[in-house]
Chains A and B, each alone.
Chain A
Amino acid sequence: DAKTTQPNSMESNEEEPVHLPCNHSTISGTDYIHWYRQLPSQGPEYVIHGLTSNVNNRMASLAIAEDRKSSTLILHRATLRDAAVYYCILPGSGNTGKLIFGQGTTLQVKP
């Protein structure tokens, strides 16, 4: 299974943009890059996913490097409710639907 590498923690000020990086140098050509977040005492929540080009939805944007070995999750205006652990995830091998969760990045948002 391919692995991802993220910083353990990051801080942001409220209402400022946040860029959460992820390295995935062993990604295969057909792997989508997924991002989930986990708020305290809740289950993981889907944020966004993409294959090659940049992706936008109501929650965030995903910028994928041209070589696909890294990506960045962008929260355009962080709020206190965005404080969570953010996971950059590649699917497990074998088409099982398994998501490989690493340790993620703990995002702190300061008022």
Chain B
Amino acid sequence: EAQVTQNPRYLITVTGKKLTVTCSQNMNHEYMSWYRQDPGLGLRQIYYSMNVEVTDKGDVPEGYKVSRKEKRNFPLILESPSPNQTSLYFCASSFAGFNQPQHFGDGTRLSIL
């Protein structure tokens, strides 16, 4: 089954403790991206990747890092999480970023205390 898998689905942690949210897709998609969803603000893009070893900032990249060492994986790294990063995170992928249907994961709910 074609899917985008995120782990963990839920995480409660404390300020400053490094964490990684993994994202994996099994569709051989070149394009992957991360969004965060906050009440009243909708979904906002954090980072995106057009292909392996190519990443770029979205609208809200501060406090986040990503890597794209292989096509299927696109982890989101919070080196020193803070409470304002408490949010619902979604990973998405598509064959190409531009005007292609994007497939989203089921989300990761992060709570930073």
A residues contacting B by CB (< 8 A) are 32, 36, 41-46, 49, 91-92, 95-99, 101-104
Q: Please, which residues of chain B bring their CB within 8 A of the CB of A41?
A: 106-107
User: What is the interface of chain A mostly: helix, strand, loop, or mixed?
Assistant: loop
Give the chain B neighbours of A102 by CB distance below 8 A.
42
A-B contact pairs, 5 of them (CB 8 A): A44-B92, A97-B48, A97-B100, A98-B58, A99-B45
B30 to chain A minimum Cβ distance, whole angstroms, is 10
Whether the Cβ atoms of A96 and B56 lie closer than 8 Å is yes
B interface secondary structure, majority: strand
Establish whether residues A96 and B97, one from each chain, have CB atoms under 8 Å apart when the complex forms: yes
* A44–B35 CA distance with the chains assembled, in angstroms: 11
| B104 surroundings in chain A (CB, below 8 A) | 43-45
Residues 32-49 of B at the A interface (beta carbon under 8 Å): 33, 35, 42-45, 48
Q: How far is the CB of B92 from chain A (nearest CB, A)?
A: 8
A43-B105, A101-B42, A102-B42 known; A95-B97 Cβ under 8 A: yes
**Min CB distance, A87 to chain B, in Å?**
8
